[in-house]
Amino acid sequence: MILRLAIIGFGNVGQEFARLILAKRDWLMKQKGLDIEVLAISTRSKGSLLSKRAIDLQRALDELADKGHLRGYGPEVTDKGPLEIIDNCDADLMIELTTLNAEDGQPATDHILNALQAGMDVVTANKGPIAYAYDKLRSVARSRNVHLRFEGTVMDGTPIFSMVERTLPGCQVTGIRGILNSTSNFVLTEMSKGMSMEFAVKEAQARGFAEADPSMDIDGWDAAVKITALANVLMAAKATPKLVRREGIGSVTSKDLEDAAAQGKKLKLVASAEKDGDSVSLRVAKELIDPSGPFWSVEGTSSAVTIRTDMMGDLSIIETDPTVTQTAYAVFSDILLVVEAIRAGTL
Amino acid sequence: MILRLAIIGFGNVGQEFARLILAKRDWLMKQKGLDIEVLAISTRSKGSLLSKRAIDLQRALDELADKGHLRGYGPEVTDKGPLEIIDNCDADLMIELTTLNAEDGQPATDHILNALQAGMDVVTANKGPIAYAYDKLRSVARSRNVHLRFEGTVMDGTPIFSMVERTLPGCQVTGIRGILNSTSNFVLTEMSKGMSMEFAVKEAQARGFAEADPSMDIDGWDAAVKITALANVLMAAKATPKLVRREGIGSVTSKDLEDAAAQGKKLKLVASAEKDGDSVSLRVAKELIDPSGPFWSVEGTSSAVTIRTDMMGDLSIIETDPTVTQTAYAVFSDILLVVEAIRAGTL
């Protein structure tokens, strides 16, 4: 089986994913009978490629590393934008990896809609569309008989969505709590060791997981988008991030962390979703965590989620010190699950 | 679709499972188009039933509650043993829930082999057969084109086996660490609060999760069987529990726990499996746990496992305060996954 991809968005995650499929090429062929070809790569400002034949991924990676752009790649270079690339590409599956727009999930939502409507399966690590337009995207995917997977949107490749969907049949999720934003958790961890917030943020930027403008993380926006995505998918919340009661960690002082420690506790930014009658109440808030709960050991860039269920009680899953490799794996594993579903003829 | 079951072993878990399918009967029909009928119930000492038509589960439960046995149920009462019942039953799927024999996994392994060879799917919560005969059982299941699932063997219904199999495609498990035995963890937790071991064991017995003879738990045997089952399935260990380097908690004193606390640590019984060249090294040992790891908050009857993988790093999953409901759910969820696989035509 040959699976042809269009990769829309080719930053750190996209490039790591490309390296991953290069490294796993033999394994994919031998173990899964699967040959993955990339027919399009779209970047915002570094040039884009569109081809009828497989793009040489190694060369594309090398050009980006050497020249900083793809504009010298060859006749495959295109000046088409992402929507045009999707419409003109023969890919079977579109991978959406553009930068999050936390305000409305666009243009990623339109990229996904166009791909689904063109009959492509879609895998994304972009949480905006799942937080803003999950019900619509799911209904279009079902009506076109194609697959939509998005494990990488929350906690990288940690299987949260897949775990509920594929291993907990018949279980209803009645609540979710999580430490979902690496930067704010890292900043709180470093501050509790005596570092200033300013310095901790700079350190997070230096290590590459905080943006130049860290306000999305510090203000709780990133966590709000993630808990909305979780609640939309796992609790049918029909929410958007704007409905989340949200506070950030911007006002946290060293004194606050010392006070927490004096009580034998830690201050953490916790995102939560709870059933509230027929609706779901969403919140991102500072909480005092005590050592008896599963979040106690979740420090630095680690993250965790507790899913409350009717039949299995509380299940917690912790991801320790993730890197971009884990997000690339999320895309890789989603693709394998799509291929498995195609072969089984299931949606 | 009608799915006909034979239930071999009908103690706490079997009875809770029976209550669960009674409670979920409408849901199963409406959501899954599935009607579950039980054609056989085998108990060791309380009488057994074998029928061509659906047994009235509520009546069987009531008889057990009222009279303590099934021998007054009616013409369905049989004096056949479990193997004969399996051989003479028209069931599609056999559920093995007899008591663990940690010495050799028998007779449960033979029950499962007979059922597989008779073309039945099998679901079990009995860890003995998976620890002693996994490779053989899997190969018989494959050769007969039937399903074998066993989520309930470790950490109740917490999806460990299913998580690796169904949500982490392409990931290799390179190590496993777990707090897998409720009784010993509960005893250590209570002892660290000042209770004596003797009293803590009695308390565990009073609460119903420790056996009359608690040595299986205290001596680390139960944990050894569980880590062997995990390693056989997830790491192709081809081991038996007798290969596990094993120590128990029998010699732990209050002083040991005080010393650990004085160092800011806790003493826990940890089961582990590690790659060691071409083989897998298995161990159950007391370990000093520190607050930076995911096992810190795992107290009382809670349990946890950390799976080390090549592509996703360390993933930890924690089950909080499980009851027999969670083990019954393991059987229930395995049945639903078998039904899904039958419908998709996959193994």
DSSP B236-291: -----GGGSEE--STT--HHHHHHHHHTT-EEEEEEEEEEETTEEEEEEEEEEE-T
> For residue B346, what pLDDT is reported?
86
Q: Cβ separation of A311 and B294 shorter than 8 Å?
A: no
CB-closest option in A294, A319, A340 to B318: A294
**Which chain B residues are Cβ-neighbours of A158 within 8 angstroms?**
312, 315
Across the range A201-207, mean pLDDT stands at 95
Q: Which tokens sit at B202?
A: 């009695």
Chain A residue nearest residue B312, CA to CA: A326
3-class secondary-structure state, position A222: helix
Chain A residue nearest residue B333, CA to CA: A169
Residue A212 confidence class, pLDDT cut points 50, 70, 90: confident
What positions of A carry a catalytic annotation?
226
Residue among A140, A36, A145, A51 nearest A95 (CA)? A36
Note whether A18 and A140 are same-domain residues: yes
Chain B residue nearest residue A156, CA to CA: B312
B310-344 confidence digits (pLDDT tens): 999 999 999 999 999 999 999 999 999 999 999 98
CB-closest option in A157, A297, A320 to B296: A297
Note whether A65 and A123 are same-domain residues: yes
Note whether A188 and A141 are same-domain residues: no
Strands A173-179 and A303-309: antiparallel
- DSSP per-residue letters across A60-102: HHHHHHHHSSSTTS-TTEE---HHHHHHH---SEEEE-PPP-T
Burial of B251 (0-12, 13-18, 19+ CB in 10 A): exposed
Contacts of B23 (CB under 8 A, 6+ apart): none
Across the range B275-304, mean pLDDT stands at 95
Q: Cβ separation of B320 and A294 shorter than 8 Å?
A: yes
B119 backbone φψ class: left, alpha, beta (φ>0; ψ -120 to 50): left
Burial of A173 (0-12, 13-18, 19+ CB in 10 A): buried
- Give chain B's mean pLDDT: 96
Q: Which tokens sit at A66?
A: 């050497």
Angle, alpha carbons B316-B318-B324 (nearest 5°):
145
pLDDT above 90 for B276: no
What residue has token string 């943006």?
Answer: A211
What positions of B carry a catalytic annotation?
226
pLDDT above 90 for B347: no
> What domain range includes position A109?
2-157+325-344
Residue to mutate among B162, B312, B339, B346, with most A CBs inside 10 A, is B312
Alpha helices in chain A (DSSP H): 12-23, 25-32, 57-67, 82-88, 108-117, 127-144, 161-167, 182-192, 197-206, 215-218, 221-235, 254-262, 324-344
**Which chain A residues are Cβ-neighbours of B158 within 8 angstroms?**
312, 315
Q: Cβ separation of A333 and B171 shorter than 8 Å?
A: yes
Q: Cβ separation of B325 and A318 shorter than 8 Å?
A: no
CA distance A56 to A7: 13
Q: Report how far apart, in Å, the C-alpha atoms of A37 and of each of A53, A93, A94 are.
A: 8, 10, 12
> For residue B222, what pLDDT is reported?
96
Note whether A100 and A209 are same-domain residues: no
pTM of the model: 0.96
B42-77 confidence digits (pLDDT tens): 999 999 999 999 999 999 999 999 999 999 999 999
The CATH number covering residue A197 comes to 3.30.360.10
Residue among A239, A210, A12, A225 nearest A128 (CA)? A225
CA distance B323 to B312: 30
Q: Cβ separation of B329 and A158 shorter than 8 Å?
A: no
A258-279 confidence digits (pLDDT tens): 999 999 999 999 999 999 888 9
Note whether B16 and B128 are same-domain residues: yes
A–B interface: beta-carbon pairs under 8 A? 137
> For residue B8, what pLDDT is reported?
98
Note whether B189 and B259 are same-domain residues: yes
Residue among A263, A262, A270 nearest A287 (CA)? A270
Note whether B106 and B193 are same-domain residues: no
**Higher-scoring residue by pLDDT: A208, A46:** A46
Q: Cβ separation of A163 and B163 shorter than 8 Å?
A: yes
> Which residues sit opposite B222 in a β-bridge?
none
Note whether B143 and B64 are same-domain residues: yes
Note whether A172 and A69 are same-domain residues: no
Q: What single letter denotes the amino acid at residue B1? A: M
Q: Which tokens sit at A280?
A: 């779901």
Residues A120/A92, Cβ–Cβ less than 8 Å: yes
Note whether B174 and B287 are same-domain residues: yes
> For residue B19, what pLDDT is reported?
98
pLDDT above 90 for A168: yes
Chain A residue nearest residue B326, CA to CA: A312
Each residue of B75-99: b (16+ CB within 10 Å) or e? ebebeeebbebbeebebbbbbbbbe
Residues A182/A222, Cβ–Cβ less than 8 Å: no
Sheet containing B2-8: order of strands: B77-78, B48-50, B35-42, B2-8, B93-96, B121-124, B148-149
What residue has token string 């008989």?
Answer: A145
End-to-end CA gap in chain A: 18
Note whether B125 and B175 are same-domain residues: no
Q: Cβ separation of A291 and B291 shorter than 8 Å?
A: yes
pLDDT above 90 for A78: yes
CB-closest option in B162, B291, B313 to A321: B313
Chain B residue nearest residue A339, CA to CA: B169
Q: Which tokens sit at B268?
A: 């826990």
pLDDT above 90 for A28: yes
> For residue A211, what pLDDT is reported?
82
> For residue A277, what pLDDT is reported?
87
Residues A155/A180, Cβ–Cβ less than 8 Å: yes
- Give chain A's mean pLDDT: 96
> For residue A97, what pLDDT is reported?
98
pLDDT above 90 for B211: no
The CATH number covering residue A82 comes to 3.40.50.720
Residues A150/A141, Cβ–Cβ less than 8 Å: no
How many domains are there within chain A? 2
Q: What single letter denotes the amino acid at residue A87? A: D
**Which chain B residues are Cβ-neighbours of A302 within 8 angstroms?**
none
Note whether B18 and B89 are same-domain residues: yes
Q: Cβ separation of A311 and B293 shorter than 8 Å?
A: no
Residue among B40, B5, B8 nearest B21 (CA)? B5
> For residue B67, what pLDDT is reported?
97
B81-127 confidence digits (pLDDT tens): 999 999 999 999 999 999 999 899 999 999 999 999 999 999 999 99
Q: Cβ separation of B320 and A313 shorter than 8 Å?
A: yes
What's the gap in Å between the CA of A129 and the closest CA on chain B? 22
B166-198 confidence digits (pLDDT tens): 999 999 999 999 999 999 999 999 999 999 999
Chain B residue nearest residue A320, CA to CA: B314
pLDDT above 90 for A317: yes
CB-closest option in B24, B312, B336 to A329: B312
Q: Cβ separation of B170 and A24 shorter than 8 Å?
A: yes
pLDDT above 90 for B151: yes
CB-closest option in B24, B163, B323 to A159: B163
pLDDT above 90 for A346: no
B41 phi, psi to nearest 5 deg = -130, 125
